[in-house]
Amino acid sequence: MPSTFNAVARFAIVAIVAIVAPGDALAQSNEVNVYTYRESKLIQPLFEAFSKDTGIKVNVISASSGLEQRISTEGANSPADVLLTVDIGRLEDAVKAGISQPIVLPALDKVVPAQYRDPEGHWYAISMRARVIYASKDRVTQTAITYDELADPKWKGKICIRSGQHIYNNALFAAYIAKHGEAKAEQWLRGLKANLAQKPSGGDRETARDVAAGKCDLGIGNTYYWALMMDKETDRKPWAEATKVILPTFADGGTHVNVSGVVLAKHAPNKANAMKLIEWLAGEKAQHMHADLNYEYPVRSGIATNPTIAGYGTLKPDTLALSKIADSKKAAAALVDKVGFDN
Amino acid sequence: MNLSQTHSYGPALGGAVSLFPAVKLLAVLIAVAIAALVAFPLVSLARLAAIGDADLWPHLSAYVLPVALLQTTLLLLGVAAITSVAGVSTAWLVSTYQFPGRNILVWMLPMPLAIPTYIAAYVYVDILDAAGPLQTALRALFGWRTGAEYWFPPIRSLGGAVFVIGFVLYPYVYFAARAMFQMQSAGLTDAARTLGARPWQLVRDISLPLARPALAVGVALALLETLNDIGASEYLGVQTLTLSVFTTWLNRGSLGGAAQISLAMLALAAGLIALERYGRRRQGHQSDGQDSRMASRVVLSGGWGRLATLTCLVPVTFGFLVPAGFLLREAILRGLVAGFDHDLLRHTATTFVLAVCASLVVVLLGIAAALPLRLVPRPFVLACLAVATMGYAVPGTVLALGLLSPLVAVDEAINWLSMRAGGAQVGLVLAGSSVALIVAYTVRFLSISIGFVQAGLTRVSTDFDDVARLLGAGPLTLVRSVHLPLLRPALWGAALLVFVDCLKELPMTLLLRPLNVETLSTYIYQFATRGSFEEGALAALLIVAVGILPIVWLVRQAETVPATSEVPTVFQ
């Protein structure tokens, strides 16, 4: 098969050149390398605006798990400058894994409230979301609800939720444990489980869809999904229109919020550019983009939330320290196992 | 070939005649090297498992593993049932009979291979869930308001996962079974027919016993894929072992515990691989038929013909037409075709190049891994070969994690050498480039090509080896002039199957790809995680389109099978 062999050889040479081309593997002067758990489509507009403002090119890897391990294994040669992630647990995990270094930006401390940054500067939140209720407009008359009430038997067979092990729920359950202790949390989680209309599965959008379709009356989801469906996705608008968003509260009156945040990699080869990016992400322009493109709550004080999000009512974030939520993360996962929440 | 040759090392053992010691040594070294490539990530996995915390196990064994074990077992049993029934019945029909639509169905039946299982899961939830068109229509028809007023089989369930995964993976069985049925010497069935055997008797007494090895091979492959699935089962809410690996790592905060579960899963996978080997071993008996011309197809018409058409149409519809049709509809309705995202061209090219490179490497290494056993039939070499097939048995993300440290270690050595030579730091040459992906694909899919090459080799009688040597051929000449040409169809088959698998691969690609590199799979994934996978519909169709090309090639080979017994080895 000489002709096949030649073709194969030619292809191999071209491919090897293309694959080992070191451009992306090496740190370049005017670039910054971002490892992100946030979907690249979601943050690409922000990076494009950053590049336009500063002339710094942003290189991206997005994944769903394992980026901390990747950075940590890559070690001193890691090209990672910034890790962008959602969930307080993951931010704290990254710090514990020893892959971070303090972000020293005094200007940032003035605009980001202490609640939303690490005391030692190892992470800064850049946006927030709340875990709320999508309630059927037709079948639910209540306009306020507490998280505790979700375990009330009056909702038997009427609640939909995604997997109890998903980080959004994991953080909510962890917050409940941190506030009320494990024993009470277990009782609450058993009550919630008993009220589910179906096995936990799908995502937050499916939850809204199930409420709209009459499968259940209450769904638990994040604030931005509902707004996206209402404003941006014509085919899903009916799901949002069939539901109303209620900001639930803990017994002490706060609503559970989680954050997306940044970590500066320990061996960041482009540290200066990374600092510029972090500062820019907490800046006014980026905070407005977070609010209006991605429907998140800005962390920077003085930035207005998007009108659709503001329509849910005034958010009163739970004041529990985020690190306390991260500390209860494992206990929450164990509790979900124990009560067979996902089974 | 006599029966005494068909013992556990395969029929090749009988052929080990005098060889140059140097060549033998080289062969053994190659076998060891390839085994080492696969062993490295497994060893780093074992190291993680060794540091895992023991206090987690009481919790896992009380609350997590019983459920996961049960659900995984049921899932595997269900998928085995669907893939074998759908795969064997359709393969038997298209091989034995001529019926309305047969000539089109023969092209359509393998198509589900190009549909990633998680995509099929998303599609079926969209269609069959409470808000889907079917249930909406039912509610409108009967005036129901809420889900409490009626019952509809839930797609987000274990049964749903069996349905989705089974109908997407049955082509593995179909391919294997079809090759078997095609090879059945016409003499057997003709004789039986002449003696007045009914069609069902032909099936029960001739076709099925002959197809059993193929069935084992195909089912084993399908089940290994099922075992590794994470996207579909997670979305459908099935608590599988693979899912428990992830929750143990990410939620229970124990990477060590996760590594321990994956190592335990290796045992399950090893069982499946053993099943495959058992199946392949049996093949040796009947590949020797002198009359291997194709049995002529009997024409079915009327009711029987329509029944045959329907039987083949069912898996094609569920496994391919519905998902592909849905994707096409979404791609058009959402303006994805009109507002074509030009990045997709780049991603398609990246995906294609990666898949082609990986297929080449996998096939070359598959030959290099399987041939030493033929030349040096020793238990040690067999053990090396067994290790080399283990990559298929570890969940993708876990394998990727295990690959990171060996890759970085090599990179550090390269940097050290480069510094010593007075050069600069060169960074992560392997771990930071697409080489990492090729290595990962290779470790994962090597067992496919090894399987194909081994199956192919069992058909190359050792008599050929002996004759070649008598004529003075050295071992390299033997491999180049005898083995490789005869293996060619098997090699193509392996390359094409690996190619399609690489196109669809998601978890390893996600974690190991370099900066700014997207494949079609990772492109779709970013929409899927946001709960709007429909926006990736066009990319999914591109995977299907690129994946169909080699499938078409495979079908053409099968349809034009010549009167030698070599070609159908492609499908084993």
Give A292 or B472, the one with higher predicted confidence: A292
Give B12 or B123, the one with higher predicted confidence: B123
Residues 6 or more apart whose Cβ sits within 8 Å of residue A49:
A285, A286, A289
Q: Is B388 part of a structural domain of the chain?
A: no
Helix B396-420, helix A67-74: angle, nearest 10: 20
Residues 6 or more apart whose Cβ sits within 8 Å of residue B90:
B105, B109, B170, B174, B311, B312, B315
Handedness of CA B16, B22, B27, B29 (dihedral sign): positive
Instruction: Report the residue count for chain B.
Output: 572
Q: Is B22 part of a structural domain of the chain?
A: no
Contact B131 A26 (CB under 8 A): no
Which of A227-236, A251-260, B50-59 is predicted least confidently? Answer: B50-59
Contact A73 B426 (CB under 8 A): no
pLDDT-derived band at A122 (thresholds 50, 70, 90) equals: very high
How far away is chain A from the Cα of B374, in angstroms, using its nearest Cα?
Answer: 23
- Pairwise CA distance, residues A185 & A334, whole Å: 12
Is A65 a residue whose pLDDT tops 50?
Answer: yes
Contact B408 A239 (CB under 8 A): no
Q: Is B508 part of a structural domain of the chain?
A: no
| CB burial string B201-228: b at 16+ within 10 A, e below | ebbeebbeebbbbbbbbbbbbbbbbbbb
Q: Taking CB atoms and an 8 Å cutoff, what residues of chain A touch B435?
A: 19-20
- Pairwise CA distance, residues B25 & B367, whole Å: 17
| CB burial string B73-106: b at 16+ within 10 A, e below | ebbbebbbebbbebbbbbbbbbbbbbbebbeebb
Taking only residues 342 to 361 of chain B, the set having a beta carbon closer than 8 angstroms to any beta carbon of chain A reads 353-354, 356-357, 360
B321 touches chain A (CB under 8 A): no
Residue spans of beta strands (DSSP E) within A73-194 = 82-86, 100-101, 123-136, 159-160
Give the phi and the psi of residue A81 in degrees, each rounded to 5. Answer: -105, -45
Q: Taking CB atoms and an 8 Å cutoff, what residues of chain B touch A193?
A: none
Q: What mean pLDDT, rounded, does chain B reach?
A: 83
Q: Hey, is A197 helix, strand or coil?
A: coil
Residues 6 or more apart whose Cβ sits within 8 Å of residue A82:
A32, A33, A34, A35, A262, A263, A264, A265, A268, A274, A277, A278
Handedness of CA B554, B555, B561, B564 (dihedral sign): positive
Contact B64 A214 (CB under 8 A): no
Q: Is B411 part of a structural domain of the chain?
A: no
Contact A75 B129 (CB under 8 A): no
Residue B283, pLDDT score? 52
How far away is chain A from the Cα of B375, in angstroms, using its nearest Cα?
Answer: 23
Which of A18-32, A269-283, B227-241, B311-325 is predicted least confidently? Answer: A18-32
- Pairwise CA distance, residues B48 & B199, whole Å: 56
Contact A41 B530 (CB under 8 A): yes
SS (H, E, C) B498-536: HHHHHHHCCHHHHHHCCCCCCCHHHHHHHHHCCCCHHHH
Q: CB-CB: which of A60, A157, A167 is closest to B148?
A: A157
B400 touches chain A (CB under 8 A): yes
How distant, in Å, are the alpha carbons of A61, A135, A264, B75, B511 from that of A19? 16, 50, 28, 38, 17
pTM of the model: 0.86
- Pairwise CA distance, residues B208 & B89, whole Å: 10
Q: Hey, is B278 helix, strand or coil?
A: helix
Handedness of CA B303, B309, B314, B315 (dihedral sign): positive
Minimum Cα–Cα distance from A78: chain B residue: B428
Provide the greatest CA pair distance for chain A.
78
Across the range A138-158, mean pLDDT stands at: 96
- Pairwise CA distance, residues B406 & B426, whole Å: 17
Pairing of strands A123-136, A57-62: unpaired
Q: Hey, is A261 helix, strand or coil?
A: strand
Based on the structure, what is the number of domains in chain B?
1
Cβ A288 vs Cβ A46: under 8 Å: no
Residue A12, pLDDT score? 58
Percent of chain B beyond pLDDT 70?
A: 89
Residue A17, pLDDT score? 55
Minimum Cα–Cα distance from B333: chain A residue: A235
Residue B130, pLDDT score? 82
Q: Which amino acid is at B524?
A: I
Minimum Cα–Cα distance from B246: chain A residue: A65
Residues 6 or more apart whose Cβ sits within 8 Å of residue B320:
B108, B111, B112, B114, B115
Quickly name the fold that domain A2-128+258-310 has: D-Maltodextrin-Binding Protein; domain 2 (3.40.190)
Residue A19, pLDDT score? 59
Helix (H) or strand (E) holding A60: strand A57-62
Q: Taking CB atoms and an 8 Å cutoff, what residues of chain B touch A233?
A: 532
- Pairwise CA distance, residues B17 & B462, whole Å: 10
Q: Taking CB atoms and an 8 Å cutoff, what residues of chain A touch B531?
A: 203-206, 225
Q: Is B86 part of a structural domain of the chain?
A: yes
Q: Taking CB atoms and an 8 Å cutoff, what residues of chain A touch B69?
A: none
How many CB atoms neighbour CB A235 within 10 A? 12
Category of A313 on φ-ψ map: left (φ > 0), alpha (ψ -120 to 50) or beta: left
| Alpha helix (H) residue ranges in B320-431 | 322-333, 343-375, 379-388, 396-420
ipTM score over 0.90, yes or no: no
Q: CB-CB: which of A20, A199, A213 is closest to B135?
A: A213
Query: Which of B74, B262, B524, B532 best tests the A interface by mutation, with the highest count of A CBs <10 A?
Result: B532
Is B286 a residue whose pLDDT tops 80?
Answer: no
Across the range A267-280, mean pLDDT stands at: 96
Cβ B445 vs Cβ B391: under 8 Å: yes
- Pairwise CA distance, residues B550 & B435, whole Å: 24
Q: Which of B364, B210, B350, B341 is nearest to B282 (CA)?
A: B210
Quick one: how far is CA B157 from the chain centroid? Answer: 24
- Domain extent, residue B194, equals 52-295
Across the range B390-412, mean pLDDT stands at: 88
Q: What is the CATH number of the domain that holds B146?
A: 1.10.3720.10
What are the tokens at B494?
A: 């392996």
Residue B298, pLDDT score? 81
Contact A59 B527 (CB under 8 A): no
Contact A210 B236 (CB under 8 A): no
B68 touches chain A (CB under 8 A): no
Pairing of strands A257-265, A123-136: antiparallel
pLDDT tens digits for range B85-107: 999 999 989 988 899 999 899 98
How far away is chain B from the Cα of A313, in angstroms, using its nearest Cα?
Answer: 24
Cβ B215 vs Cβ B85: under 8 Å: no
Across the range B349-361, mean pLDDT stands at: 95
- Pairwise CA distance, residues B368 & B28, whole Å: 10
Contact B237 A342 (CB under 8 A): yes
B425 touches chain A (CB under 8 A): yes
How far away is chain A from the Cα of B252, in angstroms, using its nearest Cα?
Answer: 5
Give B287 or B558, the one with higher predicted confidence: B558
Residue B572, pLDDT score? 32
- Pairwise CA distance, residues B90 & B170, whole Å: 10
C-alpha dihedral (B82, B85, B86, B90), degrees to nearest 10: 170
pLDDT tens digits for range B312-341: 999 999 999 999 999 999 999 888 888 788
- Pairwise CA distance, residues B498 & B502, whole Å: 6
Cβ A235 vs Cβ A208: under 8 Å: no
Q: Is B462 part of a structural domain of the chain?
A: no
Give B561 or A165, the one with higher predicted confidence: A165
How many CB atoms neighbour CB A42 within 10 A? 18
Pairing of strands A159-160, A218-222: parallel
Across the range B414-422, mean pLDDT stands at: 87
Q: Is B266 part of a structural domain of the chain?
A: yes
Across the range B349-353, mean pLDDT stands at: 94
How far away is chain B from the Cα of A296, in angstroms, using its nearest Cα?
Answer: 14
Across the range A195-201, mean pLDDT stands at: 93
B131 touches chain A (CB under 8 A): yes
Category of B440 on φ-ψ map: left (φ > 0), alpha (ψ -120 to 50) or beta: alpha
Residue B12, pLDDT score? 41
Cβ B442 vs Cβ B450: under 8 Å: no
Residue A30, pLDDT score? 92
Residue span(s) of chain A under CATH 3.40.190.10 come to 2-128+258-310, 129-256+313-338
Residue B426, pLDDT score? 83
Residue B15, pLDDT score? 44
pLDDT-derived band at B476 (thresholds 50, 70, 90) equals: confident
How is residue A254 annotated by DSSP?
Answer: P
Across the range A173-194, mean pLDDT stands at: 97
Q: CB-CB: which of A64, A74, A170 is closest to B431?
A: A74
- Domain A129-256+313-338: which CATH class? alpha beta
Question: Tokens 């499968």 correspond to what residue?
Answer: A215
Q: Taking CB atoms and an 8 Å cutoff, what residues of chain B touch A86?
A: none
pLDDT-derived band at A27 (thresholds 50, 70, 90) equals: very low
Q: Taking CB atoms and an 8 Å cutoff, what residues of chain B touch A243?
A: none
Q: CB-CB: which of B251, B400, B426 is closest to A165?
A: B251
Residues 6 or more apart whose Cβ sits within 8 Å of residue B286:
B210
| CB burial string B154-173: b at 16+ within 10 A, e below | bbbbbbbbbbbbbbbbbbbb
Instruction: Report the residue count for chain A.
Output: 343
Question: Tokens 């707004």 correspond to what residue?
Answer: A227
Minimum Cα–Cα distance from B410: chain A residue: A74
Taking only residues 251 to 290 of chain B, the set having a beta carbon closer than 8 angstroms to any beta carbon of chain A reads 251-253, 255
A and B: number of Cβ contacts within 8 A: 201
- Pairwise CA distance, residues B524 & B509, whole Å: 12
Query: Got the DSSP string for B434-459?
Result: THHHHHHHHHHHHHHHHHHHHHHHHH
Helix (H) or strand (E) holding B132: none
Minimum Cα–Cα distance from B135: chain A residue: A213
- Pairwise CA distance, residues B407 & B196, whole Å: 64
Pairing of strands A82-86, A31-36: parallel
Give the phi and the psi of residue A260 in degrees, each rounded to 5. Answer: -110, 145
Q: Which of A67, A74, A83, A91 is nearest to A33 (CA)?
A: A83
Q: What mean pLDDT, rounded, does chain A reach?
A: 91
Q: Taking CB atoms and an 8 Å cutoff, what residues of chain A touch B364?
A: none
How distant, in Å, are the alpha carbons of A87, B105, B212 from that of B113? 36, 14, 21
Q: CB-CB: which of B136, B252, B529 is closest to A333?
A: B252
pLDDT tens digits for range B156-184: 899 999 999 999 999 988 987 887 777 66
Percent of chain B beyond pLDDT 90?
A: 33
Cβ B393 vs Cβ B273: under 8 Å: yes
Which of A24-28, A53-57, B83-87 is predicted least confidently? Answer: A24-28
pLDDT-derived band at B440 (thresholds 50, 70, 90) equals: very high
